[in-house]
Amino acid sequence: MKTPGLKISILTLLAVVLCPPFGSPVGAQQGSCATQIGPKMPDLIVDQALLGAQMFVTEETFGNSTCTVKENCVTSPGKHLLLRFNGSTANVGKADLVIGNPGSCGSLFLFDDCHQHYHFQQFADYRVWSLDGYNTWVANRDLTIASNTGINAQLIALALSQGQLKTTRKQGFCISDDTPYLSTAGPAAYQNCDTQQGLSVGWEDQYPPQIPCQFAQIDGLVDGTYVLEMHVNPDLLIPESDYTNNTGAIKFQFTAKHGNTGPSIQVLP
């Protein structure tokens, strides 16, 4: 698990090297900067169990000089209502995801002056939906195409305009082997955010809710039933064997602040 400050930010981009270091069990059959060169591929999924188990609301204040403001994790300085949650990604594919030197991939990476490291800019989307909005999205979306194109982009734009999509934000990751996800996982191979990022087969990259920017801003949310959705690799920038399993979603009941009673959530089945 990363400590706050190692994995933070706006979004983190992945480059992939030819073969994994340290005797990793399965070589990623991709070239540098996520170029596919073989049939075996990673397969990224959201850890939905952790997503639902570690959700809570907080009210927090951010100054102009904070990285949270500079990285646009909130819409403005000041006090905000946040839905914090665990955003973790596992690799259940046939090959490691290997991240090379981010500085070699041009515009795919953004160097963050606040944290002094590169960020992959399209790694995950965080969305908070109304229940009706989420049901419409699931019934009509096409996860085999990028979320920013075609029917997916149209559905998201329409939901935003109608108030059914309450908030959406992209988030960046420093990818590393934090904890085994599958019992068949081999030894960890990628555990350095500065020099060797990646995600071995059977391992999970964890972002606990306390990490900066690990939240959705929910200012003004009223009492009701909502859905938190995490969509990993939403724009299909990372070649995978399966894109249809890249989302995780948790339904929850939200109760706004009333008098001296603070806001709260209850995860629903």
Asked whether the predicted pLDDT for residue 198 surpasses 50, the reply is yes
Report which secondary-structure segment, H or E, holds 128.
strand 124-130
Asked whether the predicted pLDDT for residue 50 surpasses 70, the reply is yes
DSSP 192: B
Per-residue b/e over 55-80, b at no fewer than 16 CB within 10 Å?
bebeeeebeeeebbbbbebbeeeeeb
The identity of residue 105, as a single letter, is: C
Contacts with 72 (C-beta within 8 Å, 6 or more apart), sequence order? 10
How does residue 155 score in pLDDT terms, banded at 50, 70 and 90? Answer: very high
Asked whether the predicted pLDDT for residue 5 surpasses 60, the reply is no
Distance CA 36, CA 46 (A): 22
Q: 217-231, pLDDT tens digit by residue?
A: 999 999 999 999 999
Q: 22-39, pLDDT tens digit by residue?
A: 334 455 455 556 556 678
Domain boundaries along the sequence of the chain: 30-267
Percent of the chain with pLDDT over 90: 64
User: What is the chain's mean pLDDT, rounded?
Assistant: 86
Residue 11, CA distances (Å) to 37, 88, 119, 227, 269 in order:
25, 14, 5, 22, 30
Give the predicted TM-score (pTM) of the model: 0.87
The pLDDT value recorded for residue 89 is: 96
Strands 109-112 and 179-180: unpaired
Mean pLDDT, residues 125-141 taken together: 98
Residue 30, CA distances (Å) to 160, 175, 178, 256 in order:
36, 16, 22, 47
Q: How many CA atoms lie within 13 A of 16 on its CB side?
A: 24
